[in-house]
Structures are given as structure tokens and as C-alpha cells.
Structure 1
Amino acid sequence: MPPSERETCQAVLGFVLDGIYPEEALVAAEFPASALAKELELISQAREQVENEISSLSRENQSFDADDWIVQAKKLHDDIEKSRQTAREIVAQHEQTGPLRSQVEDATAKVSLMETEITFNQAVADTLEDVQRLCDQLDDGRQALDAGDMGRAIELLDSTQSAMGEDTFFTNTNVMSIFSLETARFREEVENKLISRWNEQLKVDRSSGTFEVARDIDTGSLGETISFMSQLNVLEHARKNLLKSIGSTIFDSLILPRDDGKVRTLSTTGNGLKVTPGYSEGSVAAVLSQTMKALAFLRENLPSEILSELPESLIPFIVSNLIVKWLGPTIPTTLDGLVEFEKTLEDIHIFAQKVQSWGWQGTEELTSWVNQAPRLWLTRRRVDSLDSVRKALAASKGTTKQVERVEKEQVSRADEVLLESGTDDWDASWDDDKGEDEKEQDALSKPANTIGIEEEEDVSAWGLDDDEDADEESGKPIPDTLGTADDADNDAWGWGDEEVEDQDLNQHGHHLADDPRQSKETCGTIQSAGSREMTLREVYTITDIPESMLEIIRQQVNDSKGIMDHPYSESRVASSGNGLLALPTLILAMFKATASSFYSLRLASGQMYLYNDSLYLASQVRELMDEHDLARLSSDVEALEKFGKLAYSKEMQTQSTIVTDLLDGAQGFAQCSEQPFKAECESAVSAATDRIRDVYAEWKPILSHSALVQSIGSLLSTVISKIVVDVEDLGDISEDQSKQLVALCNQVTQLEDLFTPDAVGDTDPLPVTAVYVANWLRFQYLINILESSLADIKYLWLEGELGLEFSTEEVVDLIEALFAESEHRRRAIAEIKRAPRGLGN
């Protein structure tokens, strides 16, 4: 027997010994009776073994009386037998209670199931009753809605929704889903009915442009409708839609003009607004009046629940459209409209104050606009002036006209002798204080002064050579006519590229002698007893653009002064009058920013026209500046002159590049006496000279005569410089090559006719090529060297002026290239090296 069962049996025996009823002991022990019976048998066997041992001990110990013990043991045995019998009976009875217990458990389960079914059926019955009650409420609600009892319908709807919100038996069932759908449909029916009543009481008809307010209708008052809509939380959405419809139907028609500026007008009835179908001429005053009428009607006829949202919804829309569609365009661009504009500002102020007096917000932007009227007017003038520049350029037809520049100078009697020399470069000696190398470099793109000579008098020298030494000794520099551009103006209009162009300008036109002020400063010292005043005149061609620019600039200057006079001085914008004087700077900057592309695309030789126009415009603006004491424009005028000279420099650089490229076809004149190189050299020289003649013909009607001959002289100087350099680079020149080079050089020399002045009287004028072509004499000496003997070259160096044009090294190199090694050549070279340069007379 396992120890656990043994312990249990011992416990049962303990219960029995303690007088507990065996069945109770078994129940208390909850142990099978078979195990108990087996334990009793083991006890009986133990008892017999004990008795045997006692008997054995008693026999061994004769003095011990064991009979009493035996008697007692038999009694105990009998009691144990009774207990065993009783235990067997208990076990038998216990085995008979098993089926009965199963029956009891089955009956108990059936009773529990019946109770559960009864509870479920009761719950189903209660749920069906709840569903029936809710369905009845929905039916009653629909009947109340059909009967027009909106309050009862909303009450039943709220009651139904509250009941559905409670935790019921069918919360998570299909019944709830179906019923929720029915409730939503009923709510939609109620809302649609309310919206229908709302639209009948506040009727907006976009097709007819009307809005009517019907406070009481058959189905109830507007206040009740608003109350019901508040209960259903649909008032906010309906209110927004209403105000949006009013804005698009009424205020759009009043404020938003058609393309032709016409708008509709408004009429009021007892309970509504109506926009007339026709259009009339619109004005700010009329629009403000119509808008105020519409707002006043809404304020008087709409309930407070709607008016509370009206300023936030409609006022910003009205204000923004008034500013964009009406107030902005009414800002005048001339003084003539200032009086009307001042009335407009007053009307706007009154409108804003009236709306604010109602306690409505949203007109702050209108008030701010009125306060900023001076700045807005100045901004409008700025935009209009800049746009006028663009329009003037776009509208230009490219028509041209000739203008005359006149300057008076004091000329001494001694200088008059030079005036009869036949030369026409009256400003040629302005830069005589430069060295010969500087003259050659500046001659490349030096634009001429556009001033000519009255009565065709030649004032090429003016005796300025006499003043060279004085200028050098005094250290007084010849003024630079380029000036400096205003840094702020350049930054604003992207003239940073001028920094790069200035380098080219310094090389090709740093001392541009075309500023009348420069000639006055330079020549003003030529005073002597018996001097007389000479008038210098010259014509050149400009387009119609400078006059358009001047008209725009004059308008700003004149308006800045006129705004201070009655009746404009009382205007709110009168304080911005001085601001107009800043606009000419922007106008000139706009011209510089857009002119380059326009002239290049619209006009042939556009850069030369731009050069003339810029200088003419600068001179006119300077006169305007002096007339009205506008010192602030000084830097702008200088920047404009610089801009024009940059255009001239660019064109000269382009043409110089072209003639240089054409001469490159000669390939340095090597083997120029042999075919096919001879043909290539002739073609290259011919192309270069033809190009110069073509440019002369193209620029002749544009530039003044002095500017024309100086620009052509610069191009010819470029050609000559390249030819001289190429010839000097030839290491060996044969007799045939020498003859061919002379022929080619003579072909270039034929361009001298371009520098021959017109005949005066019966005398034949002499060419003044050397005046305008810095290296002309050097070129002529080169021809002499190529076709002269060794003795002639030595004579030119020793007795002539060859040393003024060529250095000793250059002459020696040419002699070595032209003549073969001999005693005569060595002797001639030695004499040339010993003789001082330029000694000859």
C-alpha cells in the first residue's frame, strides 16, 4: 500500500477510535472503502502476531499473569471484528450511492439550463420591446416632421439617439447597425427640412441677383429655425454657405468690374436686395456707396446669430477686392488726378469709420492703405516710370534725326594760323601730354568729340602744343571724362560686368575726348591779348529714344515742383513730392539695363546709335540738372556717359577683331611674292581695307564727322600696327618680297581718301590721315624703307626724322632683313647705331 493511502487509513481508524461514525469518517477521509478493508486485515494480522508474542512471553515468564490480558485482547478482537463488519457495510452502502449522485448532478444541470433559457428569453423580450419603442419613436418623429412639428421631431430624434447611446443588449448586433442607419436617415430628413426652411427664410438667387429675408413663414419663424439648427449643430455650416452666397451674388457684382470697368448697381426693397441686370460706369465713390448700402441692409435685417460671423466672412473679402480692383488702379500717375484721388481717400476713410462704428472688425487694411497713400503713390510713380522706359523702347520705330552740338571756345590769334592748315581734328591735341606709345594704344578705340566747326573752319591744333610743357610742369592731369558710376545704382541694376569692361575701356578708350566740359577745361587757359571766341558745331544722328527718356525724366522733375503748388499741396501725397527726384536715377538705370539688347536687335550699328543716344541724353540731363539744381544726378550723368562709351568701345573692339582676323589670312606675309601665298596676302589685305570702307559707309550717317574719322582711324591704325609687326618679324626679305610688301602697303595707303576733308573754295584739300591715325607716319616710313636703298635709309636716319618713328634696333633689324651681309651694310649699321635717335631735322 502506498504511504499516502496508509496514512489516510490510519486517520480513518483514528476517527473510529475517537467515536466518530464510520460513514462520517469515510466522508471526512474521502477515501475508497476497499483500501480501508485491506488496512483492517493488516491490523488483524498484526494483532494475532502480538497475541502470539504475548503468549510466548508469558510462558517464559511464569510470574506474569497473562490471562487477564488475553481476556482483554479477545474483547478487543471482538470489537475489532464488529468494526470490520461495520466498515464493510459502510463500503457497501458507499458503492450504492454512485448512481444516485450521477442522477443528482444531471438534474442540477438541467435546472441551471432552464434558468438560463428563461433569463435569455426575458432579455430578448425586453430587447424587442426596446427596439419596438425606438421604432415607434422614429415613426412618431417622421409623423411630427411631416406635420411640420419640427420641435417634436428634433425632441424624438434626440431621445432616440440618447437611447442608442446607452449600453443595451443589442449594442453590438446587426439590429443596432440597422437602427443606427435608420436614425441617420431620419436625422438627414430633419436637417434637409431645416435647410429648406432656412433657404425659404433667407433666399439667395444667383440667377436673378437677389437676396430676400422672410422672417415668418407658414412653418415657423427665422428665430425658431436658427434655434433648431443650433440644436442639430448645422447652423455653422449653413451660415458659412449663406454668407458665401451673399458675397458671390451681391458683392461680387458690386465690386468686381468687367474688363471695360463697368459694374452693376444695387436696389433695396422692404425685405431684400437686388442687383440690377444692366451695367454702368463704375467709380470708387459709387462702389463704396453701393457696398455700404448692402452692408447696412444686412446689419438691419439679419439676426445676431448670423451677423456675428459676417465681419469675419465678408469684410476681408470686400476690403481686399476694393484695394485690388478699385483703389490700386485709382492711384494717379500725373498731378491731374490728385484732386480726385484725395476725394477717393476721404471716401475710403469715411467707409472704414462707418463700418468700425458698427463694431465690425476687418477694415484695418483700408485704414492702413489710406495712411500709406504717399508711399503707395510714390511706388506707383516709380513703377509707372520704369514701365514707361520699357514701353518707350518697345514702341520705338527706329526713326532717327540729326542733332547739333555747339560749343564756344576762346582761340588766340596765334592759333588762328593753325586753323587754316586744313585739318579737321580740333581736339586732336587734347592728349598731347601722353607719350607716343600711349597715343598708339589709345587710338585703337578713341571716340571723337562730337563737336564740329562753324563755317568749316579747321581747328585741329588750336596751339595746344604750346601748353604741353606748362601742364607737365604743373603736374595738372588732363581730366578723365569717364567719371565714376554710382555704386548703389550699379548694384541695383547688375552693372557688375562693367568692372571687366573697364579693363577694355582703359585699353581702347580711356581718354575719350568727347565731353564738352573737358574741352572747356583744357582750352580755357588759351587766353591772350587779341583772342577771339570761336563757335564749334557738329551734327550727329540719334534715334527717337532719348527724347522719350527725357520726357519721362522731365515729368518727374516738373511734378516734384508742381505738387507743392495749389491745389495739390493740400493732398495727402504732397509729402512724397521730393521722392520724385529719385526717379530719374532709376529711369536712367532702367535705360542702361534694357537698352543694350534693344539696340542690338532693332537697329543696324546699334552700338553706335546707343553711343550717340547715351551722350545726347547725358548732355540733356545735365542741362536739366543745372536748370533745376539737381546735383544728385551728377553721378548718374557720368555713369550714362560711361555707359555710352562702353558701347562705343565694344563696337570698336568687335570691328578691330574682325579686321585683325581678316589680316591673319596673310599668314604674317611670309613668302608673299610666291603663289599661292601671294594671292592669299592680296586677298587678306583687300578684305581688311574693304571692311574698313564698309564700316565707314555704315557709320557715316550715324557718327559726327570727327567721331567717324577717329573711329576709322583707329581701325586703320590696328591694320597698320599688325602689318608693321608682321613685316618686322620677317627674318629675310627678298627683293621680290619687298616689292610685293610695298604694293600691299600702298593698297592700305589708298584708304587715305577717307580722311580728306571737303574742298573749300578752289583749293584742293590735303588728307589729314596722320592726325587721326597715330602710326600713319610710321607706316609711310616703313614703305620708304622697303623700297629705298641702304644709302637712302641711312640718310633718313641721319638727316631725316626716321628716328622719331622707329627705334635703332628696329631699323637695324629691317636693314639686316632687306640687305645681304656686306661691308657697306656693316658700315651703315655702325653709323646708325652711333647717331643719336631723332637727331635729324
Structure 2
Amino acid sequence: MPSTIDPAQLGNTLIEFSSNGQFPDEQISASLVDTAALPRAVEALNQTKLSLEIEVRNISKDKSSDIDSWIQHAQNLQNDIDRSRKLASEIVQQAEAEEARELDLKNKETHVALLEKEIIFNRQLRVALQCIKRASDELDKAEQLAGNNELCNAIRSLQAAGSYMGEIPTETGVRAFKVLEYRYFDIKVAIREQLRKLRESLIRIDRERSSLEIHQTFDDNPTTLLDVSKCVMAYKELESMGKEIWDELYEAILLRRTGLEVTPSLFRLSVGKFIDDIQNTIRVTEEHVDHTIKSLFQDVEAVIHFLVDNLPKEIAMSLANAMMPELSSKIVDTWLDMAIPTSLESMVDYQKALAQAEAFAMTLESLNWPGANVFLDWVSGAPRHWLKKRKDSSLDWIRNELALGIGTPHLAEHTEQRMVTLDDSMAVTSHGENVTDDWGWGDEEEEDNAMDIDSGPPAKNRASMEEERRLSVVHPDPAAVQAALEEEDDAWGWGDDDNIVVEPLPDAGEDQPVAATSAKSEISKPAEKRNVTLSEKYSTSSMPITVFKSVTAIYEDGATLMQEVNETIPVTPAAAGLFNIPTLVLAMYRAISPYYYSQSPKGQMYAYNDAMWLCDQLKDFAAKWQSRTDLPPRARNLVKLDSEIKYLESFGKRSYKKEMDTQRTILRDLLAGSQNFLQQGDAPAVINTVIDHIKKESANWKTILPYSTWASAVGNLINTVALKIINDVFDLTDLGIDDAERVASLILQVETLDSLFKNENDEKQMPKTAQYAKDWIKLQFLGEILQSNLKDIRYLWFESELSFCFTKEEVIDLIELSFEKNVNSRQLIKDIKEKPVQVKAHD
């Protein structure tokens, strides 16, 4: 149990804690405090307090003098603070009083500025009122003067009023200014209307009577025409007045004299001082006038002289500025350009027109009248204008002529020199023509290549096979045939333009097979040749004749202009340009003629013939042109038709090709197109339709084309049919006896087309179909194969000429297609593959 603390000790502990902040130890802290000990502890504390107070009092007594000085110093500091506060308060009061004075000053300055603005406003108001009054007075004066017909003075007053209105220092939105402005414009409009009426009275244009009267004064009106001019200038409407007078003058008078594009009836003008007792008048009379440029210029000059003499200079110039651009253009376009000739025959009249236009321009310059440069330019540009007129007229004429269509057919003839053998010359007239295949044109088969004479067997060999099989005739010399073909290809010199493959045609010597009693003796001898003239007739339309005449006429005019005797002709500088027009004419022909050719069923063949005829004529013309001695060297060198001839050849071949492509397409469509024709049930009827179509086209073409070209075209159609049948046979998968007989009968139907190539003058002569249809012999051999047995096929292959038309593979395919596979067929196929063919072509 803790012990009880001693009262004295308790007092000391409390004093230590209060004085020094010292805590008692644990023993004392854990001791019990008796209640009776508290009074004694309090008393000890009071004693300690009393001793401390006495100690402080004693210390204070010793430091009393320092404390008094501190108090005095604090009092002085307080006094300084009070003075500073009072001074600051005074400074603040003075600052507030300065702001009040500045505000008062600003208020007074604002008041002064307001007074100054008021003074300025009053001054401006005074000036504005003065200007308004002056302007109003001037307007009143202008109204009064206008009422008295003193228009010049009225306009001056109106201008003065406008000046005063411009000086008014106020906004235009002010009502007083608006009222004044409305009045100003009303008076201005009234004076303008009065001036217009006066002008119409002084310059009187009567459309009904077609007359013009000019008066310097009108009745009692003091305003003269010169015053009117000045007034209009003041209004700045001189230009518009000139345009107005010109419009009325043209409609009333000049249109009836110059309006050739409106009416062919033109009337003479009467210009003079007095006409029917009327002074200074121009009038359209009832007398008709000629359409010469000379009379036109005379009347126009009289009108201009009249205007210059009777109109004030200002009005005359404003009228001229409005008049001449339009009048000059009408005269040039309607009169002068129409006087430009389209040939050299009317050049004398054209030279007169040029001289008259130049004289008229000189007159205009002497009168200081505008528009002379237009006529001088027309005169100086005579070569250019004439060349353009010649070009336009040539193209228009060609266009109109071509629009007439094919027209009446014309018989034409192509001739050439060629070295031929005696046999060839005897065969020349075998079919009624002097030569065959002179054109050298065939057509290309799209499925085949063109016949290559150098690489393949000649067409004559195929014809000879037919002859050997049927009539046992011998072949003509293949070397002679080859030479003749090459000569014919070179004769025309036409190439492969536009990638059109041209099949060479047989020459005259091939038309007649040569019957030989001794093949060795006749063929081995070299044929004697001689130079003969070969010709062939055909038909053309009327189109190329028109074109050729136009081309040659243009060239002749160019040559005429280049001669020394014609150097003085005004259009001579255009001579070189004239040589370019034929190119445009030919281009026009090639461009638009296909449309007109297409209107006729025979149009494409006509186009072919026409193009070839043009080529012939142009070649002859160019050759003769180069040999002419009456031409200067420059003119001789300007005719270059090689490129144009090439284009025409290409144009003709395209027309021919287009027609042949069309006909081949028709035939293919009749023969079932891409399908197998032989599998159709109505094959015989279709073959008859095909034969009728070919005969129809043959008849149409025979009246147009030369024989060689006709034969080539018809042969091409026949070859199309033959090739279609051959290909369809090879496309079959099986061919029985009945089918083979049916196909053979169809081939026999097609063989009736041989009649197209029979010579009407010689019934015994064999048809020449094989010469123009290269697959014709192949088709005939195919018909024989389909009707033959294996023995016959062996004979045809090894001892006849089947190998010339069919390859080994083709013959084997036909055997496998038509015969059963047995020992005989397999042996024949083996022999065909392994054994050589004994038959040789005749060399």
C-alpha cells in the first residue's frame, strides 16, 4: 500500500512544479495526499508567491529610471504617428479636390466642343439652304427656258442646278435633297423628250414614205440642229442618238437599196437639195435598180455626201460610227463576197469589183468617214477570199452532186500494154472481152489464206485435173501461167493497203485450156511473146465523173494563174493554195459517198468501180501533167496525186471487201452458220436458196464489174459454199451410205453453178469455175469419194490427182468416216501413209 505524502513535502513539490516545471519522482507521485495536508500546501504556495512579489518589487525599484525613459520614448513615437496620420489625411483631401477640378474642366471642354459643332452645323445648314435655293432657282429657270423652247439655255440651267446640288453638304437621304433630286430628274426627262421630238422634226425619217428630210430649223423654234447637237453632247447621249438615227435610216431607206439578202427587188435612191419641193431630202423611188456594185457604191456615196453636208459634224460622226460597221459588213457579205467568182472565167468582173471597192474606200477617207479599212482589207485579201470561195463552192458542188446518188451508169474501159504469148492473144476474145482479170483484184477468204502462187500449186493445175478427168486434155505451160500472173500483178501496182489480202486472178492465157495432141512437143517449146493492148469494160456511176471534172478544173485554174501572162491577176498569189483543194474534194468524196452508195443494192460494187476508175483517170492525168510543156516548173511539181490514189484504192478495196463480207455472211447464215449444215433436214431446199442467191448476185454484178472481177467475186461466193460443205463433212462423226449419197447429191446441186462460168460463145468449152474458186475441185473430188469404194479411192489417190486437193490425213479421215474398220480399209490407210504418190504435177 502506498505511503501518505508529508504535507511539507507536498508543498515543496508543488512549488518546484510551479516555479521550474519539475515533476515529482515516482515515489512521491504514487503517495497518497491527505486532505489535511492541503491547507499547508496552499499556505506554502502563498508564501512562495509573496516572496516572489517582494523580489519583483525590489527589482523594479532599481530599474525605475529606465522604465520612465521607455515610457517617454513611446509617448514621442505616438505623437509622431498622430502627425503622420494627420498629414496623410490632408494629402488625401487635396487629391480629392484635384479630381473634382479635372472633372469640372472636362465638363466645360465638352460644352465648348458642343458649341463649336453647333456653330459648324449652323454654317453648313446656311450653305445647304443657299445651295438648295440656288438649285431650286436654276430648276425654275430651266423649266421656264424649256417652256420657251430655249433648250440650250435650259440645259445650262439644269447643269448649274446639278452643280449646286452636288455642293449641298448633306446626306442624299435628307428629304429636302430627295425632293430636289426628283424635280431635277423630272425636268431632265422632260427636256430630253422635248429634245427628241425636236430632233425628229429636224431629222425627219418617214418609214411609210421611205424618205429622210434634214432641216436646220423648225417653224418658230429658236433651237437649231446645231443647238440640238450641242444639247445632245451635253446630255452625253450623242452615241445613242446616232444609233437611233441609223436604225431608222436603214429600215426606212437603205434596206430597200442594199438588202439583197431580204428581197431581190431593189430601188433607186433620189438624193438632192430639193425633191418635190422638199429641201434636203433622200427618198426611195419606185424605179428598180440593177444589182451591180458600181450603182450600189454610187448611191451609198450620195447618201454619205448628203449626211456630211447637212448634219452637224458631231451628229454625222456619231451616225457614221453606228452606221459603217453594220453597213460595211452587209455590203461585204452580201454584195462583195457574192461578186467573188468561183472560176477564172469571171475574173474581169471581179477585178472591176475590187477597183470599185478601193475607190469607195478612198472616198470614205477623203470625207473622214469611218469604214474605209473594211473595204481596203477586202481588196488586199482578194487572193485569200477567192481561194476560200473556190474551196467552199467546190466542196458544196461536190456534196450536191453526190447527193443525186448513183445516177445513170456510164460505160468505162481499162486498157494497158502487156507482153503475152501467141496462145494468150488468141484467147483474149474468148469471152467477149479484150482481156481478163486486168484489175488484179480478188477478195480474201477469212478462213483461208490468199492464194500464194510461189508456194502452192497454181490454180491452173486444179483446172487441168478437171480437164484430165473429164476431157483428157493437157495442161498449158505452168511457167507461162506464172509469168502472166506476175505481169498482171505488176501492171496495176496496187499493194496490200489496209491489210486487205488480194487473191491474184488468172491471166488471159488461163481462160482457154490448150488442147494438145502432143504434150511433150507443144509444152516444151518456149512461147513467143508480143506486146499487145489489153482492155476490159465495166460500168461506173455518175459520181466519179463529177469528182474528176472538179479536180482537173481546179488544177487547170492553178496552172493558168501561174503563167507569166497572168501575174497581174489579183488572185494570182492564191495559185499555190488552189492545188490543195483537189485533196479536199477527194476527201469529201471518200467521206460522204458511202452513204449514197448504200442507197443502191449494187452500191458497194459501184463504189469499187468508181474508185478504180478515178485511180485510172488520176494516174493518166498526173502522167500527162508532168509531160506538159506549157506549164511552169512550179505548177508541174504541185500536182502530187500518189497519196490520193493510194487512198482511193484503199477506199475501193474496202467497199469491195464490205460487199463480199456481207454476201459471205448471208451464205453462211443460209448454210446454218456455225452449226453443221449437213445435219439439217431441209438441206436440198437450202442449197437451192443458196444457188438462187449466188445467181442473183452474179446477174447484178455482171452488168457492173469487169469480167475478171466479176468472176473473182462470184468464184469467191462459190468457194464459200464449197468450203462450208467440205468443213461440215469433216465435222461429222459418222457417215453412212445413205448420208454419203445425200451429201453427194447436194454437191451435185452445187455443181450446177458451173453454168455461171460457161462461155456463151463456145458451148464445148469447159466452165472456168475452178480458176476462181480454189476449193471447187476439192468439192468435186469429195463428191466422188463419197460415191466411191475403197478401190476407187486407191485409184484416185495413187493414180489420179486426189493428192493435189487432199492431204493424207484428210483422205484417211474420210475413209474412217465412211467405211467400217476392216482389213481392206486398214490396208488402204496403211498404204496411203507409207507409199509415195506416183502422179506428179506437170512442170
Q: TM-score, normalised by structure 2?
A: 0.71
Query: Is 2:392 the counterpart of 1:391?
Result: no
Q: One-letter code of the match for 2:212?
A: F
1:607 aligns to what? 604
Indicate if the aligned counterparts of 2:245 and 2:319 stay in contact, CA closer than 8 A.
Answer: no
Question: SS of the counterpart of 2:208?
Answer: coil
1:355 aligns to what? 364
Query: Is 2:538 the counterpart of 1:540?
Result: yes
Separation in structure 2 between the aligned mates of residue 171 and residue 813 of structure 1, nearest angstrom = 111
How has the CA–CA distance of structure 1 residues 653 and 397 changed in structure 2, closer, same or farther, with 3 Å as cutoff? closer
Question: SS of the counterpart of 1:570?
Answer: coil
How has the CA–CA distance of structure 1 residues 237 and 384 changed in structure 2, closer, same or farther, with 3 Å as cutoff? closer
Indicate the larger mover: 295-304 or 257-266.
257-266
How has the CA–CA distance of structure 1 residues 155 and 793 changed in structure 2, closer, same or farther, with 3 Å as cutoff? closer
Indicate if the aligned counterparts of 1:481 and 1:513 stay in contact, CA closer than 8 A.
Answer: no
Separation in structure 2 between the aligned mates of residue 513 and residue 321 of structure 1, nearest angstrom = 65
Q: One-letter code of the match for 1:147?
A: N
2:346 aligns to what? 337
Indicate if the aligned counterparts of 1:415 and 1:462 stay in contact, CA closer than 8 A.
Answer: no
Separation in structure 2 between the aligned mates of residue 155 and residue 414 of structure 1, nearest angstrom = 113
Residues 283-341 of structure 1 show CA distances to partners (whole Å, capped at 9, x for unaligned) of 21111222122222222332232344355332222221121111111110122210000
How has the CA–CA distance of structure 1 residues 206 and 568 changed in structure 2, closer, same or farther, with 3 Å as cutoff? farther
Question: SS of the counterpart of 1:276?
Answer: strand
1:798 aligns to what? 798
Q: One-letter code of the match for 2:806?
A: F
Partner of residue 699 from structure 1, selected from 698, 701, 704 = 701
1:103 aligns to what? none
How has the CA–CA distance of structure 1 residues 513 and 194 changed in structure 2, closer, same or farther, with 3 Å as cutoff? farther
1:730 aligns to what? 732
Separation in structure 2 between the aligned mates of residue 156 and residue 688 of structure 1, nearest angstrom = 103
Q: What are the equivalent positions in structure 2 for 1:214-253 lying under 5 Å apart?
A: 214-217=215-218, 218=220, 219-253=222-256
Separation in structure 1 between the aligned mates of residue 576 and residue 816 of structure 2, nearest angstrom = 74
Separation in structure 2 between the aligned mates of residue 419 and residue 642 of structure 1, nearest angstrom = 29
Question: SS of the counterpart of 2:615?
Answer: helix
Deviation of 1:563 after TM superposition, in Å, equals 4.4
Question: SS of the counterpart of 2:346?
Answer: helix
Residues 822-841 of structure 1 show CA distances to partners (whole Å, capped at 9, x for unaligned) of 11112111211122246357
1:465 aligns to what? 478
Separation in structure 2 between the aligned mates of residue 123 and residue 412 of structure 1, nearest angstrom = 124
How has the CA–CA distance of structure 1 residues 657 and 384 changed in structure 2, closer, same or farther, with 3 Å as cutoff? same
2:682 aligns to what? 680
Q: One-letter code of the match for 2:285?
A: T
Q: One-letter code of the match for 1:466?
A: A
Separation in structure 2 between the aligned mates of residue 265 and residue 284 of structure 1, nearest angstrom = 13
2:613 aligns to what? 616
Indicate the larger mover: 312-321 or 475-484.
475-484
Separation in structure 2 between the aligned mates of residue 756 and residue 127 of structure 1, nearest angstrom = 119
Separation in structure 1 between the aligned mates of residue 547 and residue 171 of structure 2, nearest angstrom = 88
Deviation of 1:468 after TM superposition, in Å, equals 6.6
Indicate if the aligned counterparts of 2:537 and 2:706 stay in contact, CA closer than 8 A.
Answer: yes
How has the CA–CA distance of structure 1 residues 132 and 770 changed in structure 2, closer, same or farther, with 3 Å as cutoff? closer
Separation in structure 2 between the aligned mates of residue 428 and residue 215 of structure 1, nearest angstrom = 88
1:649 aligns to what? 657
Indicate if the aligned counterparts of 1:799 and 1:840 stay in contact, CA closer than 8 A.
Answer: no
Q: One-letter code of the match for 2:386?
A: W
Separation in structure 2 between the aligned mates of residue 431 and residue 359 of structure 1, nearest angstrom = 71
2:750 aligns to what? 748
Deviation of 1:567 after TM superposition, in Å, equals 8.3
Separation in structure 1 between the aligned mates of residue 481 and residue 537 of structure 2, nearest angstrom = 29
Separation in structure 2 between the aligned mates of residue 403 and residue 165 of structure 1, nearest angstrom = 91
Separation in structure 1 between the aligned mates of residue 432 and residue 477 of structure 2, nearest angstrom = 14
Q: What are the equivalent positions in structure 2 for 1:9-88 lying under 5 Å apart?
A: none
Q: One-letter code of the match for 2:620?
A: E
Partner of residue 256 from structure 1, selected from 254, 259, 270 = 259
1:625 aligns to what? 622
Q: One-letter code of the match for 1:628?
A: W
Separation in structure 2 between the aligned mates of residue 604 and residue 342 of structure 1, nearest angstrom = 49
Residues 353-372 of structure 1 show CA distances to partners (whole Å, capped at 9, x for unaligned) of 22223444442232222112
Indicate if the aligned counterparts of 1:542 and 1:702 stay in contact, CA closer than 8 A.
Answer: yes
How has the CA–CA distance of structure 1 residues 360 and 511 changed in structure 2, closer, same or farther, with 3 Å as cutoff? farther
Deviation of 1:707 after TM superposition, in Å, equals 2.4
Q: One-letter code of the match for 1:698?
A: N
Indicate if the aligned counterparts of 2:405 and 2:596 stay in contact, CA closer than 8 A.
Answer: no
How has the CA–CA distance of structure 1 residues 648 and 737 changed in structure 2, closer, same or farther, with 3 Å as cutoff? same
Deviation of 1:562 after TM superposition, in Å, equals 4.1
Q: One-letter code of the match for 1:753?
A: S
1:268 aligns to what? 271
Q: Sequence identity of aligned pairs in percent?
A: 29
Indicate the larger mover: 302-311 or 338-347.
302-311
Question: SS of the counterpart of 2:669?
Answer: helix
1:712 aligns to what? 714
How has the CA–CA distance of structure 1 residues 209 and 484 changed in structure 2, closer, same or farther, with 3 Å as cutoff? farther
Deviation of 1:598 after TM superposition, in Å, equals 0.4
Q: CA RMSD in A?
A: 4.5
Q: One-letter code of the match for 2:267?
A: R
How has the CA–CA distance of structure 1 residues 239 and 742 changed in structure 2, closer, same or farther, with 3 Å as cutoff? closer
Q: One-letter code of the match for 1:585?
A: T
Separation in structure 1 between the aligned mates of residue 790 and residue 476 of structure 2, nearest angstrom = 38
Separation in structure 2 between the aligned mates of residue 296 and residue 553 of structure 1, nearest angstrom = 48
Deviation of 1:804 after TM superposition, in Å, equals 0.9
Indicate if the aligned counterparts of 2:608 and 2:653 stay in contact, CA closer than 8 A.
Answer: yes
2:642 aligns to what? 634
Number of residue pairs aligned between Structure 1 and Structure 2: 685
Separation in structure 2 between the aligned mates of residue 144 and residue 739 of structure 1, nearest angstrom = 123
Query: Is 2:591 the counterpart of 1:582?
Result: no
Q: One-letter code of the match for 1:388?
A: W
Q: One-letter code of the match for 2:183?
A: E
Query: Is 2:158 the counterpart of 1:186?
Result: no
Residues 788-841 of structure 1 show CA distances to partners (whole Å, capped at 9, x for unaligned) of 110111111111111111111111111111111111112111211122246357
Residues 253-311 of structure 1 show CA distances to partners (whole Å, capped at 9, x for unaligned) of 43322545443322222223333344422221111222122222222332232344355
Q: TM-score, normalised by structure 1?
A: 0.71
Separation in structure 2 between the aligned mates of residue 401 and residue 233 of structure 1, nearest angstrom = 73
Separation in structure 2 between the aligned mates of residue 381 and residue 173 of structure 1, nearest angstrom = 71
Structure 2 regions of 5+ residues with no counterpart?
1-81, 101-119, 274-279, 454-458, 460-473, 509-524, 627-635
Indicate if the aligned counterparts of 2:785 and 2:793 stay in contact, CA closer than 8 A.
Answer: yes
Indicate if the aligned counterparts of 1:797 and 1:840 stay in contact, CA closer than 8 A.
Answer: no
Separation in structure 2 between the aligned mates of residue 731 and residue 207 of structure 1, nearest angstrom = 97
Separation in structure 2 between the aligned mates of residue 532 and residue 591 of structure 1, nearest angstrom = 40
Q: What are the equivalent positions in structure 2 for 1:543-582 lying under 5 Å apart?
A: 543-563=541-561, 570-582=568-580
Separation in structure 2 between the aligned mates of residue 592 and residue 345 of structure 1, nearest angstrom = 37
Residues 209-238 of structure 1 show CA distances to partners (whole Å, capped at 9, x for unaligned) of 333332244313333333334344444443
1:489 aligns to what? none
2:765 aligns to what? 765
Separation in structure 2 between the aligned mates of residue 567 and residue 355 of structure 1, nearest angstrom = 34
How has the CA–CA distance of structure 1 residues 784 and 302 changed in structure 2, closer, same or farther, with 3 Å as cutoff? same
Indicate if the aligned counterparts of 1:253 and 1:264 stay in contact, CA closer than 8 A.
Answer: yes
Deviation of 1:720 after TM superposition, in Å, equals 0.7
Question: SS of the counterpart of 2:684?
Answer: helix
Separation in structure 2 between the aligned mates of residue 786 and residue 462 of structure 1, nearest angstrom = 27
Deviation of 1:608 after TM superposition, in Å, equals 1.0
